[in-house]
Amino acid sequence: MSKYELLRQFLDCIQSNVGEKTLSFSEIEGILGFKLPKSAFAYREWWSNPSSSAHHPYARSWLAAGWMVDRVNQNDNWVRFRRIQSDVVEKKTPLVTNAPAISNLPEDFDADSSMALTTDNRRFLINFGFEEVGEWLFADGPLQFVLTRHWDEQNILYAFVTQEEVKYIGKSSQTLRGRMNGYKQPDPTQSTNINNNARIKDLLLKGIPVQILAFVQKDEMLCRGLPINLAAGLEDILIARIRPPWNNRK
């Protein structure tokens, strides 16, 4: 039996009509009967929802109960769990903003704060207005994705990023969910979708998380009374600025 089994039982007993549950770290320690490891307080990756719980065995306590970590606040020491929906696309994942991509993190790993740094290009996108909206998952079956927000937004810019690099930037006139489905199940004639599907799988098999960022135009912009699509205009500019390796552009 896992030492975190009591947390699984607690989450499993929450009424089915409750979709979110926020617990303080001290409440979780009370449920478990022991202190959480230092990494739970210092290292956001500890709270990730891995595609394989073998890398983070303690994550079984919430995944097996049908919950995923949605948000973590390590300043105020609380975590919000969200019940997993039947549609994998609309599951929520933790917004891990500063976690290095280490898949075999031990439970008692005590991370140095200097590891919680993002690279310039990733930070550039976040500062520009991109949001963390989901991630890719891959275990034994087909490639999957989860989106935490904006899944029905159209005319959107998106990016695939690791903690090391912005890998790809694209735009879509269809919904974000629809565009991600193209990468999930690429048509035999869609070389970009096929190539990125293989690249994402390769990274995930190496234990490197691949997150999805998105830029949503908040306010309508007009030029002489006509609407301007920022996504269409910004894609080439950002690709030239960042030069993501998967875009294959000179």
User: CA-to-CA distance for 223 and 1, rounded, in angstroms?
Assistant: 63
170, 157 in Cβ contact below 8 A?
yes
The number of angstroms, rounded, from the C-alpha of 174 to the middle of its chain's C-alpha atoms is 21
- pLDDT per position in the chain (250 positions), as tens? 578 888 988 888 888 888 899 999 998 988 888 899 998 998 888 898 876 555 577 888 888 888 989 899 999 999 999 988 643 333 344 443 333 333 333 444 333 332 333 347 888 888 888 998 999 998 767 888 888 888 999 889 999 999 879 999 999 988 999 999 999 999 999 999 999 999 999 999 888 999 999 998 876 666 666 766 677 778 888 898 899 999 975 4
Q: What is the pLDDT of residue 115?
A: 30
What tokens were used for 77? 């020491």
pLDDT of residue 199: 95
pTM recorded for the entire structure: 0.53
Scan for tokens 């769990």, then name that residue: 81
Q: Are the CB atoms for 79 and 72 separated by under 8 Å? A: yes
**Structural domains in the chain?**
5-84 (no CATH), 120-247 (3.40.1440.40)
Q: What is the per-residue pLDDT for 227?
A: 66
